[in-house]
Amino acid sequence: MARSRLLDPINDLITDGGDVLWSFVRGEQLEFPITLNFVEDALSWYGNANNKGYVYEAVVVEANNTVGQTTTPTTIKPNGITTVLTVRVPSLIGNWDAASAYNKEEVVYYTVNGKYYKLLTGAARTSAVTPVLDTAFWTETTINKIYLQFPKSLGTTWTQTPTVETPVYGFFELRVTEPQDNVFVRTWKPVRGMVELLFSPTYSSND
């Protein structure tokens, strides 16, 4: 068996998205897809009463922002605000059936080509056109994809607010934990980084 020096690692056995910077104008409300390369199926067990699914946790912690700061903060704010983000997990409905009604963002399995598709728009929609051909309504997807939702209220209760010249920051992390009935429950933290909030001329208390 080959050996390598302890202080000269060349292989990363656990790869992930690493550090990211999410940049928002204050008052924006956006959703982002995250593909979990280390999970084959993030959807099938989710919400199943008999098998508790993967647990997804995402938070933004207020950084120790200061007035007129010229660099990004390197510490969290003492007693700062922690915002829990919603992680949306699409519903895996099963095999596509021409007679069934489907709603936006629901995922189906098309047995003919062995691929998954999600509905782009519609409510209780039925069609005999297969997902492969019905490209105006269906798009190919995977079942290891989840969605992070950043609310428009993010940062509104932080001590410092962004100015024209100075953004404010928070620290972000996503944690994924396996179902609790596994022999050894693994947990990953695949995406970490910072959230940047920029000044918004249109921002109001109604945002």
pLDDT value at residue 1:
45
Average pLDDT over residues 188-203: 93
- Residue 206 phi/psi, 5° resolution? -85, -10
User: What does the alpha-carbon distance between residue 55 and residue 32 come to, in Å, rounded to a whole number?
Assistant: 18
- pLDDT of 50 reads 47
At residue 203, the pLDDT reads: 87
Give 18-73 pLDDT, tens digit per residue: 578 999 999 999 999 999 988 888 887 555 544 458 899 999 999 999 999 999 99
What integer is the mean pLDDT of 179-206? 87
pLDDT grade, residue 183 (50/70/90)?
A: confident
pLDDT band for position 11 (cuts 50, 70, 90): low
pLDDT value for 38: 87
Contact 83, 60 (CB under 8 A): yes
Please tell me which residue, 169 or 47, carries the higher pLDDT value. Answer: 169
Summarised one tens digit per residue, pLDDT across range 106-162 is 999 999 999 999 999 999 999 999 999 999 999 999 999 999 999 999 999 999 999
CA distance 98 to 100: 6
Closest CA to 172 of 33, 21, 14, 31: 21
Higher pLDDT, 26 or 6: 26
Confidence at residue 49, expressed as pLDDT on a 0 to 100 scale? 47
